Amino acid sequence: MAKAPTVYDVAEYAGVSIATVSRVLRSPDTVKAATRERVLDAVRFLGYVPSANARGLAARRTNVIGLFFPGHDDHHSGAIPFAEGDHIEVGTDDTEDDENLYYDEVLRGAEAEAARHGFALMVASGDGDVVSDLAGRVDGLAVLAGTVSDELLAHVGRRIPVVILGGRDDEFDHVSANNGPGMRELARHVATKAATIAYVAGAEGPDDAERWAGFSEVATAALHRGDFTRRSGQRIASEMRELPDAIVCANDQMALGVLDVLERLGIRVPEDVLVTGFDGIAAGRHSRPTLTTVHQPMAELGRAAVQVITARLDDPERQKQSLTLAVRVVLRESCP
Amino acid sequence: MAKAPTVYDVAEYAGVSIATVSRVLRSPDTVKAATRERVLDAVRFLGYVPSANARGLAARRTNVIGLFFPGHDDHHSGAIPFAEGDHIEVGTDDTEDDENLYYDEVLRGAEAEAARHGFALMVASGDGDVVSDLAGRVDGLAVLAGTVSDELLAHVGRRIPVVILGGRDDEFDHVSANNGPGMRELARHVATKAATIAYVAGAEGPDDAERWAGFSEVATAALHRGDFTRRSGQRIASEMRELPDAIVCANDQMALGVLDVLERLGIRVPEDVLVTGFDGIAAGRHSRPTLTTVHQPMAELGRAAVQVITARLDDPERQKQSLTLAVRVVLRESCP
DNA sequence: TCTTCGACTGTAAGCGCATACATTTATCTG
DNA sequence: CAGATAAATGTATGCGCTTACAGTCGAAGA
């Protein structure tokens, strides 16, 4: 890691000016082939890698799109298990319950789409400081609705385009799943088979509100407030006084939590009670019983977010848009 | 997105020099409290967000760590399904087979650890161009073994520290799972219950080689060459002439592929044949039968990679290190 | 009162690149 | 072969920030 070579080093070695070096890298065909080769040789010989900082500064854009996620709550901060000697532990199963955090897929979609547009993707999670730091590094930013204060959002929104995943307003571009209608359709299905329904809501926010609103269009239910975690689903299920005909949950995690408790109590699903979720996470496809849900196209959410950002980068004046992605009701064993 | 304000704007508005603005942001306590407040007010008023590019250029570091993944093979490039009118599709199940790409977890671990060290994480996938681009943007780079040509690796390695996930040599820092001993231990278990074994290898590379070597220490088998994909597991299973007592696969994906075919053929696992995988992906915990495997701590791999990078950033001269993380044999239904 | 010193703040020089503009060289016309 | 035009390259500036270094100013010491 001796001092990294710069355009100047390359230029000198190749016997050209730095402008030519830059041109070889940015617009190769404006440079004579022979010159180009000499420069490229120099690049290889010196191990030259252009500084994205310098380039971004000069060109006034970074070609990076940022993605902000709420913190991982640091359940990962234990010691790293290094291999010790020759011993390999053998066990019957691991306790790990990797709730395939749904934004893995969002992230993958965003990454793929960013790559298609020639952007790199930068991810960060944490608090407000992280957001403004991130904002200084990217050309556009995607954030989950409700994870960043309006104030901060307004602040960074003055510098770069921001797209919000979920929710909708006129301040920013939005991309979200068709929450309300999806839940409404699911509720309609549930209502044909259940008279009494319990609704397990998630943490308050636009998504949760839309789902509840969709549900309310076609059915009524006792509302229990959870927070989208499996644990809260478990808690709510154990606290239920009497069994309704169906338990409709605002997301899959909570529905799985409900299933956990029902199984423990020996209550059969769907015979004794119907259970539904929302999101379409992989775990719901493998649970017992498998989980009826509303599937959101996560990867497409990420892709759409990136598309919206690049579109706004191309035309800052365009009207704010609010994209809604199609969802799909998926009937499985828990509410066939 | 009017032109973004700069230090100059803030300095003027606050009636100080740009150096003072910079100090307020970088080392607040070297500035008198009253001055600091004036500057911070100006920052808020103007919506100032410092440019990471300019800062990185001046400070000669980006505070970003890069993570490179092999391409997503773009199975995502179809049209995005927007909601249309009021119709919601209802189906019995979705075909999607999201193979929880194991590096989701690596990525999450890396992100968490990077955050702990005050770094942002930049992810990119694709080909060589992407790698050198990435290298120009970050202070350190983590790549999966075998995904980047040695030549390119050497090139970028001259500019920034590179840590390789998997494999080991003296050129770079490495972090890998305890592949050989893990597979050896699993093989030992299998060997107690099976006389004839078929070994399904993955794409050639350090990980695959280590696993095979570990296996070979304690057992012998007919080797079938796959490429780590579920599909290749299916192919190999369907091409098998006669059934061995056990099929040991170099990763879980291929093992799942093998299970697919065995189920289709009506061959019972583990009664008729034992099957094992390697990795400990979530899908193996939910398959039928559930999959015996060797569990790698993916998130910790990511975390360790970041730790190695930051350590080298702190001391470029330190000796190259090769960390090995503990694995764990997990016995499940497919080979109890 | 005159120094001396420390706490603050300002001045100015890059960091490594892109690019408008100027200059040189090659190519073409007739 | 002169003159005109196009192609190739060089010169010089600035992108927005950090940071050595150089003041400035008030308080403490002599």
- Nearest-Cα distance to chain B for A141, in Å, is 13
Q: How far apart are CA A98 and CA A58, in angstroms?
A: 43
**Tell me, what's the pLDDT at A172?**
93
Using a CB–CB cutoff of 8 Å, tell me whether A56 touches chain B: yes
Q: How far apart are CA B115 and CA A63, in angstroms?
A: 22
- Whether B7 CB is under 7 Å from strand D: yes
Tokens of A90: 């053998």
Q: How far apart are CA B189 and CA B192, in angstroms?
A: 5
Q: Are residues A159 and A304 in the same domain?
A: yes
Q: B284 with B97: CB under 8 angstroms?
A: no
How are beta strands A197-201 and B274-276 bridged, if at all? unpaired
Tokens of B282: 């979530």
Q: Are residues B195 and B288 in the same domain?
A: yes
Q: Are residues A138 and A229 in the same domain?
A: no
The answer, yes or no, to whether residue B134 has pLDDT greater than 80, is yes
Among the listed residues A333, A202, A215, A331, the one whose alpha carbon sits nearest the alpha carbon of residue A273: A333
- Nearest-Cα distance to chain A for B318, in Å, is 12
Residue found by looking up tokens 């082939």 in the block:
A33
Domain contains A333: no
Domain range for A137: 64-71+102-176+299-325
Q: B331 with B287: CB under 8 angstroms?
A: no
Q: Are residues A129 and A200 in the same domain?
A: no
Q: Are residues B170 and B185 in the same domain?
A: no
Among the listed residues B328, B322, B298, the one whose alpha carbon sits nearest the alpha carbon of residue B308: B322
Domain contains A55: no
Using a CB–CB cutoff of 8 Å, tell me whether A149 touches chain B: no
Using a CB–CB cutoff of 8 Å, tell me whether B19 touches chain A: no
Q: How far apart are CA B14 and CA B35, in angstroms?
A: 8
Average pLDDT of the segment spanning B104-110: 87
Average pLDDT of the segment spanning B292-313: 94
In chain B, how many domains are there? 3
Domain contains B89: no
CB pairs under 8 A between A and B: 277
- Whether A32 CB is under 7 Å from strand D: yes
Q: Are residues A188 and A271 in the same domain?
A: yes
Domain contains B336: no
- Whether A19 CB is under 7 Å from strand D: yes
pLDDT 10s digits, A120-165: 999 988 887 889 999 999 999 999 888 889 999 999 999 999 999 9
**Tell me, what's the pLDDT at B97?**
54
Q: B227 with B203: CB under 8 angstroms?
A: yes
Instruction: Of A109-123, A274-288, B128-142, give the lowest mean pLDDT range.
Output: A274-288
Of the residues A26, A63, A87, A90, the best mutation for testing chain B's interface (the one with the most B CB atoms within 10 Å of its CB) is A90
- Provide, as residue numbers in chain B, all residues whose Cβ is less than 8 Å from the Cβ of A160: 1, 4
Q: How far apart are CA A241 and CA B74, in angstroms?
A: 49
Tokens of A135: 């904002």
- Domain with residue B15: its CATH number is 1.10.260.40
- Domain with residue B208: its CATH number is 3.40.50.2300
**Tell me, what's the pLDDT at A72?**
59
Q: A269 with A289: CB under 8 angstroms?
A: yes
- Whether B268 CB is under 7 Å from strand D: no
pLDDT 10s digits, B88-97: 788 776 655 5
Q: How far apart are CA B6 and CA A252, in angstroms?
A: 45
Mean pLDDT of chain B: 89
- CA→C1' distance for A33 and C29 (Å): 26
- Nearest-Cα distance to chain A for B202, in Å, is 22
**Tell me, what's the pLDDT at B77?**
59
pLDDT interval class at A95 (50, 70, 90): low
Q: Are residues B163 and B216 in the same domain?
A: no
pLDDT 10s digits, A293-336: 999 998 899 999 999 999 999 988 889 999 999 999 999 999 99
For residue A288, the chain B residue with the least C-alpha distance is B286
**A111·B72 Cβ contact <8 A:** yes
Q: Are residues A261 and A311 in the same domain?
A: no
Q: How far apart are CA B157 and CA A54, in angstroms?
A: 20
Using a CB–CB cutoff of 8 Å, tell me whether B79 touches chain A: no
Which is more confident, B167 or A46?
A46
Cis peptide before A316 (omega within 30 of 0): no
Residues 45-64 of B with CB within 7 A of strand D: 48, 50-51, 54-55, 57-59
CA B111 centroid distance within chain: 10
Tokens of B133: 């681009």
Residues 178-237 of chain B whose Cβ lies under 8 A from any Cβ of chain A: 178, 181-182, 184-185, 189
Q: Are residues A110 and A197 in the same domain?
A: no
Which run of H or of E encompasses B204? none
Q: DSSP for B238-306?
A: HH-SS--SEEEESSHHHHHHHHHHHHHTT--TTTT-EEE-SB--HHHHHSSSPPBEEE--HHHHHHHHH
pLDDT interval class at A97 (50, 70, 90): low
Q: A194 with A242: CB under 8 angstroms?
A: no
Q: B149 with B128: CB under 8 angstroms?
A: yes
Q: How far apart are CA A236 and CA A250, in angstroms?
A: 13
* CB nearest B88 (choices: A77, A93, A182): A182
Using a CB–CB cutoff of 8 Å, tell me whether B82 touches chain A: yes
Domain contains A204: yes
Domain contains B90: no
Domain contains B81: no
Q: Which amino acid, residue B72?
A: H
pLDDT interval class at B186 (50, 70, 90): very high
Domain contains B85: no
Q: Are residues B281 and B306 in the same domain?
A: no
Q: Are residues B195 and B275 in the same domain?
A: yes
- Nearest-Cα distance to chain A for B159, in Å, is 5
pLDDT 10s digits, A228-237: 888 999 999 9
φ, ψ for residue B67, nearest 5 deg: -135, 120
Residue found by looking up tokens 């100080």 in the block:
B16
Q: Are residues B33 and B169 in the same domain?
A: no
Among the listed residues B216, B210, B168, the one whose alpha carbon sits nearest the alpha carbon of residue B188: B216
Q: B261 with B238: CB under 8 angstroms?
A: yes
- CA→C1' distance for A314 and C24 (Å): 37
- Whether A326 CB is under 7 Å from strand D: no
For residue A54, the chain B residue with the least C-alpha distance is B57
Percent of chain B with pLDDT over 70: 95
Mean pLDDT of chain A: 89
Tokens of A275: 């259970």
